[in-house]
Amino acid sequence: MEQLLITGGNGFLGSHLAEGLHQAGYRIKILARNRGSDTPAPEFETVWGDIRDEAVVDHAVRGVDRVIHTVSNFRKGGSDKDQAHGINVEGTKVVLEAVRRHKVKQYVHCSTIGVHGSVLEIPATETTAFNPGDIYQQTKLEAEELVWEFTRHHCLTTTVIRPISLIGPGDTRMLKLFRMIKKGRFIKFGPCNAYFQPAYIDDVVEGFRLCLDNPKAFGEVFIIGGDEYVPLETLFTIIAEELQVKPPAIRIPLTPMLWAASLCETICVPLGIEPPLHRRRMSFFQNNRAFSIAKAKKRLDYRPRINLRESIRRTIVWYEQEGWL
């Protein structure tokens, strides 16, 4: 039975990968930074420490057959430039050095569709031009480029996965949106005609599984997620319908909010304060996220099982079970 290391194994994606791939027959080791409420299951060997700590990473990688690297910094409004580069780029370099040193069979790198930014090509593909829109996306792109540089120079067996926007039990990033729609307090900014495409967490885990020990995935990049993208206006309506409330009706022009967000960042960031309003938050209403998963279907026989509405429904059920809605 092969042993698999998952960096960030107590995060949203990492914890689902650990459980899903354990059920698929892998022995799981986890590298996690913080001990807390999201403690990994006791059957998983856990190494605690920072992804930038060479000794910790070397200890975690030693003896494993394959590595899935999911660690990335938590995005904030613009005050995290050094942290983003340190974790996303330098942390990736530390992992790659350990993978090379210990002759790991396969390195699977979790990137993001954010490297493409707001796409003009609908649907976008793995070859769509890069267009990162913030420091998180820029440093994730730098990390991905570093991965391929290492692969070429050191003959690593590498796969890169760009997950589409994750949703499902365990995710809290969408919670505020669901709460505000339920309470009738959600405000729409602009026409809300940008596309959004969710990726149900179980489907993404299956995409990663299909890449492991699969020669068709070696040296390749795959966009992994759901098969449906809809305008934000439609997304908000579906959420409201599943919550059994009226769809949000209040709308404010986007341009003045962009000005206000820029002003907040200009004042707060130099002072080391997280801006209460920032351009990245407004970008949710601007950026097109519509992607093709045709390559994963063709090469990996990947087939997402959970459609958009069911993804939202299952997420709501989990929020309610946790007492958050």
| Amino acid identity at 135 | I
The whole-model pTM stands at 0.93
pLDDT in tens, 2-22: 999 999 999 999 999 999 999
| The token pair that represents 138 in the structure block | 């820029």
Number of Cβ atoms within 10 Å of the Cβ of 8: 24
Establish if 253 belongs to a structural domain: no
| Amino acid identity at 237 | T
Buried b (16+ CB within 10 A) or exposed e, 11-40: bbbbbbbbbbbbeeebbbbbbbbeeeeeeb
Q: Helix axis angle, 201-211 relative to 12-23, nearest 10°? A: 60
Higher pLDDT, 279 or 174: 174
Over range 110-130, report the average pLDDT.
Answer: 95
Establish if 192 belongs to a structural domain: no
pLDDT band at 187 (very low <50, low <70, confident <90, very high): very high
Q: Which helix (H) or strand (E) holds 19?
A: helix 12-23
pLDDT for 42? 63
> Which residue, chain included where needed, has tokens 């492991």?
212
Establish if 99 belongs to a structural domain: yes
- State the CATH number of the domain containing residue 47: 3.40.50.720
Report d(CA 260, CA 257) in Å as an integer: 5
pLDDT for 39? 58
What domain range is 129 assigned to?
3-169+198-226
Tally of domains in the chain? 1
Establish if 255 belongs to a structural domain: no
**Mean of all residue pLDDT scores within the chain:** 92
Buried b (16+ CB within 10 A) or exposed e, 209-238: bbbbeeeebeebbbbbbbbebbbbbbbbbb
Higher pLDDT, 241 or 43: 241
Read off the DSSP letter of residue 271: G
Higher pLDDT, 118 or 75: 118
Report d(CA 104, CA 100) in Å as an integer: 7
The yes-or-no verdict on residue 81 having pLDDT over 60 is yes
pLDDT in tens, 283-303: 889 899 999 999 999 999 999
pLDDT band at 35 (very low <50, low <70, confident <90, very high): low
Establish if 76 belongs to a structural domain: yes
pLDDT in tens, 155-178: 999 999 999 999 999 999 999 999
| Amino acid identity at 220 | E
> Which residue, chain included where needed, has tokens 């969710």?
198
Query: For residue 177, what are the contacts with CB-CB under 8 A and spacing of at least 6?
Result: 186, 239
Higher pLDDT, 98 or 33: 98
Share of the chain above pLDDT 90, in %: 80
Establish if 141 belongs to a structural domain: yes
Establish if 148 belongs to a structural domain: yes
Establish if 283 belongs to a structural domain: no
Over range 248-272, report the average pLDDT.
Answer: 83
